[in-house]
Structure 1
């Protein structure tokens, strides 16, 4: 609740501070509700007057350059004569059907009606000769004049009025109908030269300067606002966008609803181990782009370059992809609300955030940041292009501009994420995958020291890390974190390595000379020593937590039993680790992996891990590993009965998956081997090639 109230309060304060409620709102043609005067004397170029002068010069008809086509007249005249000759042929064929003859005549002249074709067939030879001659004359007369493309229709309409009055009215109509289709423009506008002439005329117009005196009335109360008056008002910055208090309260209400939905979502899905710093991180990555967007998104040239997706990408690295995707959508809605309820901004921000977060989630290489930036660029450019297409404002130049804006957005988002994720991770105590990969390198000072000073513990940590990594993966945890945390879980043993059996090799056990309480205390202290070394090395807090929790409050049974057998009064609490118990799935699985590996290794060293088959004699019989599963089951059951897993969120079903994973891996590590037979060498002979080439499987 406090998180939501703080987030909403900051957003409302920023909105209030930038709200322009007293702005003057005027449009061209609107009646002014007050008299406005120039605040100072100024001379400036009037774009309105200059544009009007240039448009006037551009539209001057004297700029039109015509080009005559001399081939039009002879070509069209020949085409008409060819059509008339074809009609002569049809008229002379007396044996054909009337309908067929009509269709043939109509096919020779475009646009000729069936009635006109019938009339042509019905004409006498003398009348047809007059119609034919008049049609040729009409076309020749029309083509003697200049005809532009826009004048063709008018010339065709005038053909009937130009026909000879010595012909009968039907003859005049037929002559006009025959000649009309062959009227064609014989002059054309030279587009290139005309355009050049128009542009030259427009460019020749000098800018028109306007001088306004201080106190001069720009627009009077009750007068309509002209374009020139609007230009002066804009020059003196007397106009600004309209923002009323009603709109302010509406925007605040939308912010309230959205913030309430965000708080409800975080309450329902946020992990139980989230602390205040996680909420502060989420609030910060929301506030920064929203506050900056309030100032930036008002500029059309910058809105597609604004890298809001960087906030979601940062959360994807530091927390989780699901949280990042939702927060990306929330940021988009916030930006859409404060930028004038822009659906476009909200959509583009959400799509870009999801694209970038999906690629960069659990990034394990710096190259991933480059790919994530590419995903943001592609998502932004594609979304903006589709919006431009929907609005009908898309051309090649606009497309190229949007793609460049998207590329800038992606580059900024990737750069900001790369430069900030490490800083935010350290400030808020969150370990990133890149940081984990760096910590897993054997050249890390603590790991290098562990491998040199406590090699048995180092080997044990390697085996346990394989167990924990695989088991955490099957239950949906963070396998990389589990692997790295295990590498450091026993780091405290480097201070007194010889007190731990895996480092004693063939040396005497130093605990034989110590009393049980002292031995137990030394064993317990490897946890506190490890925490101290980890903090000195500035390891991430989650790894330090695993060091503290990997033994929980388990009982050091070996020395506890020794103390009991000695007959002393023994407090069980003296022989238990200080804890706390594991608090996360990863820590719980690491505890089980640590205990299981130690128990199985001890059984293997004692020769109790394998059983001989019924016919086994130790050399050729079948060997079974049923003991391994029994040991794993025993260790897990003991930890459950002792309540060591009560405070982590492992379910019984997940524990069963963990058990199966442990058995599968340990069977591969401790698989039985057959003994290699000794080869008998015969005096004076060498080993047979077959003998030397054959090896028993390992």
Structure 2
């Protein structure tokens, strides 16, 4: 209850607290409701494309500021004068010629620095036909062509100094000018940016006003053009309203009820169909933790920028839940979560449809998650489904494929790439919540693991029996689409309790000495039954996951130790079944049911003295039918058709194992 209430309040806290527009509409579709009139005055908002066009136009026409450095111009004039005067003073040319040359030098400098000499870097920034030149506190608008550029300087000096051939003094002065003249106009980025921002802030996001009770749309009208713009405007108005305290409380109450209903459905599902998960607080916490993570991720993305919602890899939710539990629970939880996300995201119908389709594809296509190739193929399929579904939605809404938002396809690709992170995420969850996934099963099924190696050394016959059962169970699971990795791992560990008293089990007796000959049937049965409890204790001591321990608990169900039961009945005339019964519980899944059948059939097959096809057929039918009659599969989610399939697999495999070879001549 604490988890249930805490999760509800946390999810409601994450939800946006603005208003909700109560009508759903789509571009190009008829208005399904009654005639709609404005409930209050509101402004018509410009569309995103209109604002973008206006913004782009302002950026293109915004004033460009350039800074004129008076100090550089003054220093250049002083330096040139200091170098030119000595040259002219030492020259033997006439005084008039010297005066003319000095006048030309001053004229060149004054002309160049009248508007300025622009730096090459700033020259690249010129975009407008008119720029603003700022010198101190004065500004003037000029054409950029009035500024001198580096490519023009030498030619201009040549043209002004005199006609060819130049005198020696003129050559020297030309070199001085070319070397000393420095650029003094640069692009004023901060001033330009400030002016641009001021202009952008003046953009109006509205383009008209709708008065209260003014008709917006009639029933049956197509939602398009100006009607669509107005409807989007009032929808945004509702969603951006700051609610008063009384309205806020009602909104929160409504959210709380809806979220509570959704989580109640999840609890009902767990209680009815997954009681072992429902009764495990760690597993329930894990499920709700993943739901909260997804809601938190989408909330953050919507608050930052709603266009990124399709980049969120929320299909990792069913992948993770399938890895630790099963596909049905994964899909059920995912659908409920996506429904809750509909309160957060814009265009909720499109979002919910796309995500549910992607989730179904995820559940139906992914198998053996620990195989990286399978995950990669599933991610490609999910991404393709996103592409196709979004394309279909776009052509329905737009009426053609020309207005596709190709940016969303990029988000779908990012979504797929992020989904590949599910493998390390599963590993992290395993360590945090002490759960087991297919990746862990792969490690546990390694026969070189500590516990299985001990079984092979202490009870080699039981170890070989477990290997045979594992092979049979894996083949049967593959045929009925059960979790083959889980059932194989469970089969390898199902008899580990026998290693504590290996000689009391016939497969480990290498001599004719049978310790049961010295015991009563009840004591013998007690030792045989104890291998279940001892196996559970041994598994827990070695930190074997509960999903594997379930196979140890259930592989005999509530059946009898039949041999010693019959022996007691023969010796005493009667026997109490309770003294010879395994403690149970009975199998509660396809996988545990498969193990029970395979374990019994493999053990019994050793007693067939003349292995024939008919003998194996009769053995399998007899054992499986007896288990069905005893109600051992009542709680297992397995059908009659699947039972028949398993029988066929067991018959075929036993015939392959015990096939008769030709007799070789002596």
For normalisation by structure 1, the TM-score amounts to 0.58
Equivalenced residue count is 481
Distance change >3 Å, CA 261–CA 601, structure 1 → 2: same
Distance change >3 Å, CA 410–CA 247, structure 1 → 2: farther
C-alpha separation in 2, matches of 1:26 and 1:647: 61
Query: 1:307 is matched with which residue?
Result: 313
The alpha-carbon deviation at position 443 of structure 1 amounts to 1.4
Query: 1:201 is matched with which residue?
Result: 129
The structure 2 residue matched to 1:552, chosen from 532, 536, 557, is: 557
Distance change >3 Å, CA 521–CA 256, structure 1 → 2: same
C-alpha separation in 2, matches of 1:53 and 1:544: 68
Distance change >3 Å, CA 502–CA 202, structure 1 → 2: farther
Q: Does 1:630 align with 2:632?
A: no
8 Å CA contact retained: 2:605, 2:619: yes
Unaligned runs of 5+ in 2: 21-40, 47-53, 65-123, 133-140, 142-190, 196-200, 207-238
The structure 2 residue matched to 1:441, chosen from 443, 446, 461, is: 446
Q: What SS does structure 2 have at the residue aligned with 1:201?
A: coil
Q: What SS does structure 2 have at the residue aligned with 1:275?
A: helix
Query: 1:242 is matched with which residue?
Result: 241
The alpha-carbon deviation at position 374 of structure 1 amounts to 4.4
Query: 1:495 is matched with which residue?
Result: 500
Bigger Rg, structure 1 or 2? 1
Distance change >3 Å, CA 500–CA 288, structure 1 → 2: same
C-alpha separation in 2, matches of 1:49 and 1:437: 57
Residues 245-644 of structure 1 aligned to structure 2 (within 5 Å): 260=261, 267=268, 271-273=273-275, 275-276=277-278, 277=280, 280-298=285-303, 299-300=305-306, 302-325=308-331, 327-380=333-386, 399=406, 401-415=407-421, 417-425=422-430, 431-567=436-572, 571-603=576-608, 607-610=609-612, 625-644=613-632
C-alpha separation in 2, matches of 1:8 and 1:640: 43
Output one character per residue of 1:363-393: Cα deviation in whole Å (capped at 9) or x when no partner. Answer: 1323444444445555556666776775599
8 Å CA contact retained: 1:50, 1:208: no
Residues 134-173 of structure 1 aligned to structure 2 (within 5 Å): none
8 Å CA contact retained: 2:45, 2:205: no
Query: 1:55 is matched with which residue?
Result: 61
The alpha-carbon deviation at position 628 of structure 1 amounts to 2.7
C-alpha separation in 2, matches of 1:379 and 1:653: 32
C-alpha separation in 1, matches of 2:130 and 2:338: 45
Q: What SS does structure 1 have at the residue aligned with 2:420?
A: helix
Instruction: Say which is worse superposed, 299-308 or 389-398, in terms of deviation.
Output: 389-398
Q: What SS does structure 2 have at the residue aligned with 1:675?
A: coil
Distance change >3 Å, CA 452–CA 201, structure 1 → 2: farther
C-alpha separation in 2, matches of 1:227 and 1:567: 101
C-alpha separation in 2, matches of 1:386 and 1:310: 24
8 Å CA contact retained: 2:298, 2:312: yes
The alpha-carbon deviation at position 529 of structure 1 amounts to 1.6
Instruction: Say which is worse superposed, 503-512 or 271-280, in terms of deviation.
Output: 271-280
The alpha-carbon deviation at position 441 of structure 1 amounts to 1.6
Output one character per residue of 1:65-95: Cα deviation in whole Å (capped at 9) or x when no partner. Answer: xxxxxxxxxxxxxxxxxxxxxxxxxxxxxxx
Query: 1:14 is matched with which residue?
Result: 14
C-alpha separation in 1, matches of 2:460 and 2:45: 88
The alpha-carbon deviation at position 320 of structure 1 amounts to 3.6
C-alpha separation in 2, matches of 1:300 and 1:661: 53
C-alpha separation in 2, matches of 1:561 and 1:294: 66
Unaligned runs of 5+ in 1: 31-47, 59-195, 211-224, 231-239, 611-624, 679-698
RMSD after superposition: 4.6
Query: 2:87 is matched with which residue?
Result: none
The alpha-carbon deviation at position 601 of structure 1 amounts to 0.9
Query: 2:34 is matched with which residue?
Result: none
C-alpha separation in 2, matches of 1:329 and 1:645: 30
C-alpha separation in 2, matches of 1:408 and 1:490: 46
Residues 176-255 of structure 1 aligned to structure 2 (within 5 Å): 199-201=127-129, 207=192, 227=203, 241-244=240-243
Larger relative contact order (CA 8 Å, sep ≥ 6): 2
C-alpha separation in 2, matches of 1:507 and 1:202: 110
8 Å CA contact retained: 1:429, 1:541: no
8 Å CA contact retained: 2:262, 2:336: no
8 Å CA contact retained: 1:54, 1:202: no
For normalisation by structure 2, the TM-score amounts to 0.60
The alpha-carbon deviation at position 290 of structure 1 amounts to 1.8
Distance change >3 Å, CA 631–CA 334, structure 1 → 2: closer
C-alpha separation in 1, matches of 2:335 and 2:535: 42
